[in-house]
Structure 1
Amino acid sequence: MPSHIEPETPPSPNGRFNTGLHTDVMETSQRILDIIFRYKSPLPKNASDRSDEGAIKFLGQIYRFVKMNKAVRMAMPAFPFKSPNSTMKVLGTLPDKAEDVALAHLNGLCGAIEDVYPPGAVLVIVSDGLVYNDLLGVPDNTVWKYGQALRELTKARNYSHIEFSRIKDLLAVPNIHEETDGMAYAATASSIRLTLMNRYGSHDWDDTHNNSCGDHHENKQLTYCAYLKFLELDLAVTYPICEERSKSKFKRGVEKIAKSMLKRGEAFARAMRENFQDHVRLSIHPSTGEDKISINILPLEKTMTPWHNTVAFKLDGTLIAGHRHEFQQMDDMELIHEDGRPSYFRERSHVYTWATPVTFEPIYPCGIMIQPAQGTKYRSISNVEAQKVRELAVWNSPVVLRGFTQTRNRDKFVAKAYELGTPTPWKFGLVLEVKDHGEESQGLNNVLSKEWMPFHFDGLFKTTKTIREDGSEHLVPVPPHFQFFAAVSPSPKNTGYTLFSSSKLLFEHLPEDKPLSQLNALTWSVSTASFDQSVIRGMPLITSHPSTGKPCLRFHERWPQKKTRFDPTDVEIEQGDQSPRPSQEPEHDRSVSSSISSASPDLQAAVDEPSQSQEYSAGDETVFRDINNHRTPPPATKVVTPEVPSIVVLTVLSRIPESSRYSVDIEAAYSEGYDPEHPENYRRYIARFTAWSPYYRAKEYQYRPMPEMLDVQILNHRLKWVLPDVGEAPRLFKEIASTTTPR
């Protein structure tokens, strides 16, 4: 009798069985999950940590998005409505600065993912307001207004990674039409709640006697305890304790409402699971981590939400959150209004009192913006109170002066620099006009070009010679204390960004294996052929702020030749190769990898106690910053990346058998603008693309290491590079044949 023998699965070359996983896809997926976990909320006391079990599930979801080269999609129930207790907890019924900061923080989460994975991420916020509002006495129309204001705020702030969804979108009920106003929304609210419970609710739950919500399921217990905590204060105004309602009766009522909320919440959670199966599930509620990732939606260590709290800003920009009545009792806090409504609290200081009517707005995640008040005629740069700007910059840099006029008047600009401090000229004189000079660097490396620039602190190469005890000479940086920038012309939309980094925030988020005490012991060196062939050694990585004494980072990113057409900059940590590096460093020069918009010409004045100037954003604007607090690339034009590159393989059965493996070797040559007289400027790449061909029809694959502006079409054995006419975009200057080899 013949026996059936299963075919043996061949092991991979390293001796392990081939799992079929794409290693590069898995590595990228892990980086993305690590970023999301950086936003995790702390685990509640005595709760089990099962986030490792959840990580396997979330990693699989992310892997599928990355494999398809699509944006990673996440979903989170949040932003229901403001607490009904506006006497003690919140400032009103509409979004205020607390929601603004939370949305910026969440948008930043997605932006951080985009930094390591260009397709980026999208967060869908599903408002659960209609699930609970009637239990807390909040009108349906109030829920509508809150949700609409959030959408308007998101659009106005350009939080492009945020999307919104309503409960009705999860139900797809034919007779529930799109609401156009608060009245229509209120008219359908009861039907939506009823449909939700009928379709997704549990019918065997007795709100009064069933204790499963507090005893059997750990996540359910954590949520229930959270409900009890905030309901006591939320309902204190709606159901005040009085002769007819004792404390014990009020407590029993709170418990009953909490259980009703839990029952509805389970129905809503089931609707979320069925409608967002492929989305990474985030949550604002504490959990053990196996089913969802609990995150802090405010940039705080403690879990707090904007609809239950008010935010306040200290003079140094530190964000704190708490209840309204807590800040009202603080003598050093004042209530700030925006658009005629209370918005946040701010630490009192004389620096906010100007003779000219102006407004001060905190910038996320650091800095402050000053603008002339609406309707005032005192808008000239001459009206700027320089010494108060200087003091603000010491504590909360950068300070952005937006909407002031005559900032492009060179004489007035220089005069204001003298008010800020004593200007210090350098090799370019007092004022440097930062604009593209092509190949002419004037000894400043790529500062006067439209290339991206490395992370660095300005003034590194403004040096003086000192004598050591052994009589030898060495260079020491003598950077200016402040910088003063003026935007001479606006940049095109979404370009011309300068990235400011706060030492304070950086040190608050150091990885565990790189504590500040370790960084304090490090010194570093830098060398480049530019800036008079500077070689500087023995520089401390961490220095003390000259005014506050707080620690400040001083560093320059490694900038090898592959990233610039100018001179490379070599950087080393002198105690060993411990230099901080990006988690995913691009292998090709960012300045020639895609369409680049031109840098705006700017003014730049280096001063000893203030000043330098460069573009920050569009319009009449100046930026004043304390460079001891911030390291920033000088004006970096933002690369406008076209659609994700793709390889389109038209398979032919006679040449590539079904389910065979084949490879394509691609040699690419490109430059920043085709110039046959300068072939040395070409960048050449050889890439191997390997894929399966399981179908007869055409199949599209994504290949990330390819230069990020090329569409590759492989038609049989012929390779063509197809590029649109996009001005300064790199162009391929020849066609190169390739071969396909069935395996």
Structure 2
Amino acid sequence: MLYYRFRSLFQVRPVLEKQIGDIVSKKETVRFILPAFPFKAPAEGSKRKTLGPLPDKAEEIALQTLNGFAESIAEMYDGGARVVIVSDASIYGDLLNITESDAFAYNQELQKLAASLDLQYLEFTSPGALVGIVPQEAPTLEKYSEVLSKTRDHLAHSFSHVSSFDDENEQATSWHYDTALPESNQPAALKNAILQRGKAYTALLESAALSAIRLSIHESNNVSKVTVDLFPPATNPDFITPWHGALAILPDASLRVVDASTVNKNEFEVVNNAQGHPWLLRVKCDLFKWPGIEVDFEPLFPCGMQVRPKEAHGPFRFEDVDMKRLRRLALSSAPILLRDFTMEVEKEVFREKARQLGEIQQWPFGDILEVRENVDINMNNVLTNEAMPFHYDGVFKMAQDEKTGEWISTPPLFQMFRNRSASQYKGGATLFSSSRNLLPLLGPDTISLEELRLLKWKTFTEVNDAFGGHDLHLPFIVAHPETGADTFRFHESWPECKCVAETSKPTIVQVVGWPEAQSDALCEKLTDLLYDRRVVYHHHWKAGDFIFNDNATTHHTRTAFSNGHREHWRVHVN
């Protein structure tokens, strides 16, 4: 099930429900059409909401969110899905005094950005190309100017007499414009002109894409269009579009889409991308100043942070990384990926860096586990090449309470990985899902956070060489042991049909005190959220990667792989 804003995609009004049903019955590709990404909002005097006229990290995350939306549908529907982005610079640019050169550059760079990210479920077009009056491609500014002119003429002549209407959708758009439009000597006139142009534009879209499902960045009543968020929910509580704002890394390393004109320039710095263009805002603090090491910090999608040497710097030794600073960063933005750092291939070096991070947790096999195919050690599916359920490490690691005699689960706080060899073939990715992104998605379609806080889940897995053999009753919501923040705790149910004979055993999960059918339904919905593209980071390993993960904040899993050696060193730290 897919979720967006506050509603489920498939809990829509009858008109859209019938439209979706017709497409699916014909086994056709579900095509969504989204009028958006026109240009960056212009400066208003000395103030600018954005970092400049070109796409930046905010656009990157928005495009990844939309691509994930369509990809998720493609995974459960054979017909697949596409999101068609209709850049509406030709609709509003002249009213907002946007130069054609700025709109052209923005459009060109946006498509280059999508191509560089290999976002295969996105397509780009223009209103004029959609109705067939201009070519699909406008490779030069001169051609682009012709497209804008012809499209506006067509809109004026063909849709100038669109009847006025005042429904919930228009009201939501009107409220959005109250804060999104630039300052004007005649604000009411500007707003009315844009709303009227928007009505004509809506008529154009409806006439040109009859079978497509209309998406909207504005709140809607789900009668004729579906509201979609462009960012993971924890990132954009103020619903700022990427072309009206910028991405900021806050003091706790969390991400927030902000109006750049409101940011204190003494507290934040502008970080440029490799091409020298403004890319994001980052708070000035020691968390991002590593002594003796010049590194870049790049947010991963939709959670986590990549740290790697700045261009023309490095390579740096892992031995020189400040582990206390790394621990603070991992507590704020898990998982942390260190890429292009070197390390002596010695376990004692790895072990010593783990000691600097915290207290190493011991297991029956010792401290460092060589995570690779190994038939000599029975750890369920950990040391196989098969897929694994979503889980957090140590859920089945038990200790007996000295006072009560009760057996309790003692999961470690951190995971520390060093990749020795990455599979060169398909599969073998590690997925990390963040509580920070998952918890805001709880609601009417699943269960509220407060309801979930009152429940427990029970699980059991057979004893093996490292863990198992105990019945567990555990809470779904637990306070983080260091930050105190709410964290989601769960284990994906893994029935025997998903196990490989003689190498893995099932793990049964149920809600304590609930009937089986009701329990299974909730567990399935919670599992869906773990796999939601706005929650889960897909990591494809590169030899030499280091990952530091807050095991209390995240869950992780592995996809199946074959025909390629894959090996990590892993150690747990508290």
TM more than 0.5: yes
Matched residue of 1:427: which SS? Answer: coil
Contact 2:390-2:556 within 8 A present in 1 as well = yes
Contact 2:459-2:473 within 8 A present in 1 as well = no
CA separation in 1, counterparts of 2:5 and 2:426? 28
Out of 542, 565, 568, the residue aligned to residue 506 of structure 2 is 568
Letter in 2 for 1:305: T
Give the C-alpha shift of residue 548 in structure 1: 0.9
CA separation in 2, counterparts of 1:335 and 1:505? 25
Distance 1:542 1:259, change over 3 A: closer
Contact 2:126-2:136 within 8 A present in 1 as well = no
Q: Could you tell which deviates more after superposition, 448-457 or 412-421?
A: 412-421
Out of 523, 534, 543, the residue aligned to residue 456 of structure 2 is 523
Matched residue of 2:248: which SS? Answer: strand
Letter in 2 for 1:341: H
Structure 2 residue 48 is matched with structure 1 residue 88: yes
- Structure 1's unaligned 5+ residue stretches are 1-30, 42-50, 206-211, 236-249, 587-613, 640-725, 728-743
Distance 1:554 1:407, change over 3 A: farther
Map 1:12-161 to 2 at 5 A.
31=1, 35-36=3-4, 38=6, 55-85=13-43, 87-117=47-77, 119-161=79-121
Map 1:164-563 to 2 at 5 A.
164-173=124-133, 176=135, 178-198=137-157, 200-202=158-160, 204=161, 216=166, 219-227=169-177, 229-233=179-183, 235=184, 250-251=185-186, 254-299=187-232, 300-328=236-264, 332-339=267-274, 340-355=276-291, 356-406=293-343, 410-437=347-374, 440=375, 442-466=377-401, 469=404, 473-492=405-424, 495-512=427-444, 514-531=447-464, 534-563=469-498
Give the C-alpha shift of residue 120 in structure 1: 3.8
Distance 1:39 1:414, change over 3 A: farther
RMSD: 3.1
Distance 1:584 1:334, change over 3 A: closer
Give the C-alpha shift of residue 216 in structure 1: 4.8
Give the C-alpha shift of residue 81 in structure 1: 0.4
Give the C-alpha shift of residue 160 in structure 1: 2.4
Structure 2 residue 535 is matched with structure 1 residue 637: no
Contact 1:39-1:296 within 8 A present in 2 as well = no
Give the C-alpha shift of residue 352 in structure 1: 0.8
Distance 1:177 1:115, change over 3 A: closer
Matched residue of 1:135: which SS? Answer: coil
Matched residue of 2:369: which SS? Answer: strand
Out of 502, 511, 524, the residue aligned to residue 582 of structure 1 is 524
Give the C-alpha shift of residue 392 in structure 1: 0.8
Distance 1:220 1:480, change over 3 A: closer
CA separation in 2, counterparts of 1:479 and 1:217? 53
Query: Which residue of 2 is the match for residue 27 of structure 1?
Result: none
Matched residue of 2:201: which SS? Answer: helix
Distance 1:570 1:289, change over 3 A: closer
Matched residue of 2:63: which SS? Answer: helix
Give the C-alpha shift of residue 180 in structure 1: 1.9
Matched residue of 2:430: which SS? Answer: coil
Distance 1:631 1:286, change over 3 A: closer
Map 1:695-706 to 2 at 5 A.
none
Contact 1:313-1:319 within 8 A present in 2 as well = yes
Q: Could you tell which deviates more after superposition, 368-377 or 543-552?
A: 543-552
Matched residue of 1:307: which SS? Answer: helix
Give the C-alpha shift of residue 225 in structure 1: 5.0
CA separation in 2, counterparts of 1:115 and 1:345? 34
Distance 1:414 1:585, change over 3 A: closer
Letter in 1 for 2:454: A
Distance 1:119 1:415, change over 3 A: farther
CA separation in 2, counterparts of 1:397 and 1:178? 41
Query: Which residue of 2 is the match for residue 238 of structure 1?
Result: none
What percent identity do the matched residue pairs reach? 31
Give the C-alpha shift of residue 289 in structure 1: 3.2
- Structure 2's unaligned 5+ residue stretches are 529-537, 565-574
Give the C-alpha shift of residue 573 in structure 1: 2.9
Letter in 2 for 1:380: R
Q: Which runs of 4+ in 1 moved over 6 A?
A: none
Q: Write the deviation string for residues 602-630 of structure 1: whole angstroms up to 9, x where unpaired.
A: xxxxxxxxxxxx98522431100111111
CA separation in 2, counterparts of 1:572 and 1:536? 12
Q: Write the deviation string for residues 166-188 of structure 1: whole angstroms up to 9, x where unpaired.
A: 223123237x5732222332244
Give the C-alpha shift of residue 126 in structure 1: 0.5
Contact 1:381-1:413 within 8 A present in 2 as well = no
CA separation in 1, counterparts of 2:307 and 2:251? 14
Query: Which residue of 2 is the match for residue 684 of structure 1?
Result: none
Query: Which residue of 2 is the match for residue 678 of structure 1?
Result: none
Contact 2:423-2:561 within 8 A present in 1 as well = no
Letter in 2 for 1:574: V
Distance 1:370 1:219, change over 3 A: same
Compare CA radii of gyration and give the structure with the larger one: 1
CA separation in 2, counterparts of 1:39 and 1:125? 22
Distance 1:584 1:380, change over 3 A: closer
TM-score (norm 2): 0.85
Give the C-alpha shift of residue 380 in structure 1: 2.2
Matched residue of 2:307: which SS? Answer: strand
Distance 1:395 1:285, change over 3 A: closer
CA separation in 1, counterparts of 2:222 and 2:559? 40
Give the C-alpha shift of residue 263 in structure 1: 3.4
Give the C-alpha shift of residue 117 in structure 1: 3.2
Distance 1:343 1:584, change over 3 A: closer
Distance 1:553 1:347, change over 3 A: same
Give the C-alpha shift of residue 62 in structure 1: 1.8
Matched residue of 2:421: which SS? Answer: coil
Give the C-alpha shift of residue 118 in structure 1: 5.1
Q: Write the deviation string for residues 441-469 of structure 1: whole angstroms up to 9, x where unpaired.
A: 62201111111111111112222233564
Matched residue of 1:81: which SS? Answer: coil
CA separation in 2, counterparts of 1:460 and 1:231? 51
Distance 1:403 1:494, change over 3 A: farther
Query: Which residue of 2 is the match for residue 47 of structure 1?
Result: none
Query: Which residue of 2 is the match for residue 730 of structure 1?
Result: none
Letter in 1 for 2:499: T
